[in-house]
Structure 1
Amino acid sequence: MDEERAAYLDLVLVGGREPTTIVQVPYDPRWPLRFHDLAARVHRALGPAALAVEHIGSTAVAGLPAKPIVDMLLLVADVGDEPAYVPALEASGFALRVREERHRMLRTAARDVHLHVYEPGQPDVRDYLDLRDWLRASAADRDLYAATKARLARQAWVDMNEYADAKTDTVRQILGRARAWRCGPG
């Protein structure tokens, strides 16, 4: 990790960087059920302030090995207006972990749920959904992604962000094919 990236993470990570061991487990068919329970909790906490809640990440793709962390995407009207959603989510068992200009991430105390918060229309929102949908549709890219994650999981990482950064090239390749698929010919 270069010094600039490390300094950025030190700035945006609430509580600082945390050493981690990446563990990949076989797909668990209970993950979608867990997501639905968690989405209901978010909707109860936020009411209409929760514009949308989506299951994203590897646990949202049937058959894909994953870290046993359910990733969720929450859309709110204004990410910067933390009082409109963070206190209610904290009262519901989430803690703020990442504070970036256009993104917040909260997680559970058990660190088994990551709730990514964005405003509608942000490019990262489309990326998360395109990646999920394409991995559901493409066995070849699902296998490529699984192999990449398995290889990277065998390495030591300073924190989860370093591991995520290491997947970037593979994710970009897959997103290129996902966008071509979504947009169709011509």
Structure 2
Amino acid sequence: MPLTSSITPYDPEWPQRYAEEAERLSPTFGSALQEIHHVGSTAVPGLAAKPEIDILAIVTSGSIREEWTRAFEALGYRRGGDLSPGHHFVKRDVGGVRTHKLHVCREGHPAIARMLKFRDHLRRHPADRLRYQELKLALERENADGIHKYLADKAPFINSLLASLE
């Protein structure tokens, strides 16, 4: 079973794609938006990734408001499952291909620090970035069970690296 997209070499256009989408999305949140960040593998220069732009929106509100859901739908997004209380997931596909993933997290949610710390570490440490890339490529080659298995199999590396930073 394939992933949502194939892993490709780093594309220097990914930061611009993030910036354009962040500009489209930001008005949706109004004054509840505290910060918006490019996260995930496409936010790490030099790292091969699924060409799906991950965006982290940090908000003061505890849950996605009904008007946000309608605005996301108007922008081509649909709700995914909530990843935990206060961490909502929204995704956008264009022509049947995943293009963007939006994480909406309430201020102070632990996922915020994890995403930013992991991204920043990989940006600054080429050896860990290469190890992570090799793992992702191997998992993609061996994958027979789809995206959930791929994500689960990446988790030990991510958890171990983050634990070593504490």
Pair in the same fold by TM > 0.5: yes
Q: How does 1:77-116 map to 2 (within 5 A)?
A: 77-100=60-83, 101-110=85-94, 111-116=98-103
Structure 2 match to 1:149: 136
Q: 2:121 aligns with which of 131, 134, 140?
A: 134
Shift of 1:81: 4.2
Question: Quick check: 1:49–1:84 contact (8 Å CA) kept in 2?
Answer: no
Q: What SS is found at the alignment partner of 1:98?
A: coil
Distance 1:157 1:73, change over 3 A: farther
Q: Residue 103 of structure 1 aligns to which amino acid in structure 2?
A: H
Cα distance between partner residues in 2 of 1:50 and 1:123: 17
Greater Cα offset, 153-162 or 118-127: 153-162
Cα distance between partner residues in 2 of 1:106 and 1:161: 16
Cα distance between partner residues in 2 of 1:75 and 1:85: 14
Q: Does residue 52 of structure 2 align to residue 65 of structure 1? A: no
Q: How does 1:1-186 map to 2 (within 5 A)?
A: 20-21=2-3, 23-100=6-83, 101-110=85-94, 111-177=98-164, 179-180=165-166
Aligned length: 161
TM-score (norm 1): 0.80
Instruction: Name structure 1 gaps, 5 residues minimum.
Output: 1-18, 181-186
Distance 1:49 1:87, change over 3 A: farther
Shift of 1:46: 2.5
Q: Residue 54 of structure 2 aligns to which amino acid in structure 1?
A: D
Instruction: Name structure 2 gaps, 5 residues minimum.
Output: none
Shift of 1:91: 1.8
Shift of 1:88: 1.8
Greater Cα offset, 54-63 or 154-163: 154-163
Question: Quick check: 2:92–2:100 contact (8 Å CA) kept in 1?
Answer: yes
Q: What SS is found at the alignment partner of 2:82?
A: strand
Cα distance between partner residues in 2 of 1:153 and 1:115: 22
Shift of 1:77: 1.8
Question: Quick check: 1:46–1:89 contact (8 Å CA) kept in 2?
Answer: no
Question: Quick check: 1:59–1:68 contact (8 Å CA) kept in 2?
Answer: yes
RMSD, aligned α-carbons: 1.7
User: What fraction of aligned residue pairs are identical, expressed as a percent?
Assistant: 32
